[in-house]
Structure formats: C-alpha cells, structure tokens
C-alpha cells in the first residue's frame, strides 16, 4: 500500500471486534509513533497503552463515549512537558503529539487495524484513570483494534476550497 492508499483507508472507527491486537502489530504501531518528528527532537510524548478493561472503562467514561472502552486497546497520547512554545507562537506539545498519533493511526491501517481520534474527554478524569501526574497533559485518546465497520464515504472540501498559491486569497 502506498502512503496515500493508507491515508485514504483511514477513517474514524467507532465499533471494534472483540479480538485482541497481536503484540507484533502493536509494537510496529508504537514504533511508528517513536519515529515521528518533534520540535527540537525533544520527544516529549509519552504513550500509555491501556489494555486493562477497568481503566479503558474509566477513560470511556471520561470521554462520555462508551465505544472508546470497547476497543481492546486505548492509547493515551500524553505530553510530559507542556511549557515550550515555538517562535511562531504555537505550543510544541500539541503539534508533536498530533504528528505521533497520526503516525499511529496510519500504521494501524497498514496493520489492518482501526483507530479514532478522541479529543472530547474530561482531562482530569482521564488523567485520574491512568494515574498521570499533575504536570502531564493528555492531548488525545486513541482506541485501537480491529474495525467492526466498513469505511463510510469521505466528506472533505475540494482542494480548490482549501489551497491557495503564493498569497492568501479570499
């Protein structure tokens, strides 16, 4: 599969098979995150791989989205340092975690697995569920498992609506 094939096949999976993810697949998915670029190569990301059903349930409750806990794995994408801001004014940790988590999402597709970005969750409740210390921020939760659904059609703006050349054009 080309990278574009993988990107086209990724979709938000909100129903998972009751089937464990093989260790070698999980390892490659995590390796994809490890190889991601990060600001000044500081690699402030930490990934809590949650398989414990009770902890998954607590994360699903923190999100108010029961399907999150139904995946065999939920990865909490955490920032161990939230203090650095790039000269452009954008916080490093959000960008770093977003890139690494999308690496996870894409490698998951290559492994026949599915994921869903979860940003709607209660930060304090999710931190309590995984026992994260005060200074850590969970940037996203990401269920991981075998999809139990087919990919729906993609709904995206055409390139002509989102790309400008040389200057901003209204």
User: Interface residues with ligand FMN (CB under 6 A)?
Assistant: 11-12, 14, 65, 116-120, 154
* Structure tokens, 35: 């190889």
Residue 123 Cβ, how far from ligand FMN at the closest point, in Å? Answer: 13
Are residues 25 and 111 in contact, defined by beta-carbon separation less than 8 angstroms? yes
Residue 48 CA, chain-centre distance (Å), reads 12
Q: Specify the residue, 90 or 166, whose C-beta has the smaller distance to ligand FMN.
A: 90
Residue 115 Cβ, how far from ligand FMN at the closest point, in Å? Answer: 9
Residue 76 Cβ, how far from ligand FMN at the closest point, in Å? Answer: 13
Are residues 118 and 140 in contact, defined by beta-carbon separation less than 8 angstroms? yes
* Residue 150 per-residue DSSP state: P
Q: Specify the residue, 4 or 168, whose C-beta has the smaller distance to ligand FMN.
A: 4
Nearest residue (beta carbon) to ligand FMN = 119
Q: Specify the residue, 40 or 90, whose C-beta has the smaller distance to ligand FMN.
A: 90
Q: Specify the residue, 11 or 27, whose C-beta has the smaller distance to ligand FMN.
A: 11
Residue 141 Cβ, how far from ligand FMN at the closest point, in Å? Answer: 8
Q: Specify the residue, 9 or 84, whose C-beta has the smaller distance to ligand FMN.
A: 9
Residue 41 Cβ, how far from ligand FMN at the closest point, in Å? Answer: 24
H-only helix segments in 15-158: 23-34, 53-63, 67-70, 92-110, 123-130
In degrees and rounded to multiples of 5, residue 57 shows phi and psi of: -65, -40
With residue 22 as reference, give the H or E element that holds it.
Answer: none
**Which residues are registered as beta bridge partners of 78?**
46, 138
């Amino acid at each position: 599969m080309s990278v574009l094939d993988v990107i086209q096949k990724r979709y938000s999976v909100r129903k998972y098979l009751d089937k464990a993810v093989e260790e070698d697949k999980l390892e490659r998915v995590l390796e994809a995150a490890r190889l991601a670029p990060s600001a000044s190569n500081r690699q402030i990301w930490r990934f809590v791989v949650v398989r414990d059903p009770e902890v998954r349930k607590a994360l699903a409750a923190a999100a108010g989205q029961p399907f999150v806990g139904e995946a065999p794995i939920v990865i909490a994408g955490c920032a161990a340092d939230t203090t650095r801001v790039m000269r452009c004014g954008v916080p490093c940790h959000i960008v770093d975690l977003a890139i690494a988590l999308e690496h996870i999402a894409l490698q998951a597709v290559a492994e026949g697995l599915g994921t869903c970005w979860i940003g709607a969750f209660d930060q304090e409740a999710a931190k309590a569920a995984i026992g994260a210390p005060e200074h850590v921020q969970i940037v996203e939760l990401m269920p991981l498992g075998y999809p139990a659904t087919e990919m729906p059609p993609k709904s995206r703006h055409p390139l002509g609506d989102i790309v400008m050349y040389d200057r901003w054009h209204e």
